[in-house]
Amino acid sequence: MVSWSLSSCCCLQEYSGAVPASSSETQLAGTAVLAIGLWLRFDVQTKSIFELESNNMTFYTGVYILIGAGALMMLVGFLGCCGALQESQCMLGLFFVFLFVIFALEIATAIWGFANKEKIVEELQDFYRETYEKRSQPAAREILKAFHFALNCCGITGGLEQQLMESCPKKTLPESFTTMPCPKAIDDVFNSKLNVIGAVGLGIAVIMIFGMIFSMVLCCAIRRNREMV
């Protein structure tokens, strides 16, 4: 009985440190996601998207999902850290449930994203074309500038548009002929960066899995320890 009690205490101390570490990683990931969402919402260039009248809601929805998901991950990480430090089974249980829900949503989003990749690309291309047609508006010009500098592209056809549009990065005439049109650049980014996006998502998923495992093991260790007291 004594050896079992000592083993339980050692296990409790070990996972009491593992859960806050996992919670901190969840909080850091949440902070990064929230920061990206807030930057996209309030940056001088991208906030113009919210001032432009448009029927395309993909960007709006995506930004607000990032903000909400980041805030939720920070809250969940804080909950797990407090639960581990206070050895609260209730808080650790909630930490597990919230992590599981976020994990399930992440998997569902990844599946939906891969299944609808072409649709997402088409919607972004349509949004760019719609903004391009409104380029006489100051807000539209700021959005085009954000696209052009981020993707190193220019206009619908590329080429000489580089020399004619003020919102495009400045290049010499020979360089302009190699400038990619933005609809094609959008497609290339999604195809070339898909592995990077998948790797980041996988990393976050692994952190969540370890967080769920550690929280359940710690919860069981706390219960056993209290039963022996």
What is the Cα–Cα distance from 26 to 69, expressed in whole angstroms? 11
Give the Cα separation of 12 and 92 in Å (integer).
Answer: 13
Cβ–Cβ under 8 Å, residues 48 and 139? yes
Q: Is the predicted pLDDT of residue 126 greater than 70, yes or no? A: yes
- β-sheet bridge partners, residue 153: 180
pLDDT, greater one: 10 or 79: 79
The model's pLDDT over 190-222, given as tens digits with 9 standing for 90+, comes to: 777 777 777 877 888 888 888 888 888 887 877
Residue pair 182/156 in contact (Cβ under 8 Å)? The answer is yes
Range of lowest pLDDT (8-17, 29-38, 76-85): 8-17
At residue 58, the pLDDT reads: 66
Q: What is the 3-state secondary structure of 42-88? A: HCCCCCHHHHCCCCCCHHHHHHHHHHHHHHHHHHHHHHHHHHHHHCC
Please answer whether residues 169 and 185 qualify as being in contact, where contact means their C-beta atoms are separated by less than 8 angstroms: no
The predicted structure's pLDDT at residue 10: 46
- Global pTM exceeds 0.85: no
Q: What is the pLDDT of residues 39-76, one digit of tens each?
A: 878 876 666 666 666 656 666 777 888 888 889 888 88
Rounded Cα distance, 138 and 45, in Å: 11
